[in-house]
Amino acid sequence: MFVTYAAVTIFAALLYASAAVVYLIGHEFPKAQMDIKRLPRSWVPVFGVLLAAGALGLVGGFWLPMLGLLAAYSLVLYFLGALLAHLRVGSRKLGNWAFFFITSVAALAVNLLYHWT
């Protein structure tokens, strides 16, 4: 079970860390997404920091299991909020969102199964 936990957690952490970098370097993609969802562009760095914190928390969960659990829960909540932002403006392009959300749910599931059962 550890191999599955480690693989999913590391994959998720790398995914969210790379997304955080895209948000934090000022790339146009997150800015365009904020415009589409009618959210302030000033929130882009905040979302980048949240994604980076989630990635670091997932990795930290190898040493402090509760930290990993809280990070995984937080990422699930983050992406549920993203879904609400999509739906609020009538966006039906949810492919990227679904990939990120499913990854966060998988990270939460393996964390719960490995540490808490």
Whole-number Å distance between alpha carbons of 40 and 18: 22
Alpha carbon distance, N-terminus to C-terminus of the chain: 11
Query: Could you count the other beta carbons within 10 Å of the beta carbon of residue 37?
Result: 16
Asked whether residue 117 carries a pLDDT value surpassing 90, the answer given is no
pLDDT digits 0-9 by tens, 26-38? 999 999 999 999 9
Q: Which two tokens stand for residue 109?
A: 């599931």
Q: What is the pLDDT of residue 4?
A: 97
Give which of 78, 73, 81, 83 is closest to 105, Cα–Cα. 73
**Full domain range(s) for residue 6:** 2-115
Q: How many domains does the chain have?
A: 1
**Averaged pLDDT, 101-112:** 98
pLDDT digits 0-9 by tens, 58-91? 999 999 999 999 999 999 999 999 999 999 999 9
Q: What is the pTM of this model?
A: 0.95
**Quick one: pLDDT band at residue 19, thresholds 50, 70, 90?**
very high
Q: What is the pLDDT of residue 64?
A: 97
Q: What is the mean pLDDT of the chain?
A: 97
Q: Which long-range contacts (CB under 8 A, 24 or more apart) does 50-53 make?
A: 50/74, 50/78, 51/16, 51/17, 51/19, 51/20, 51/23, 51/78, 52/16, 52/17, 52/20, 52/24
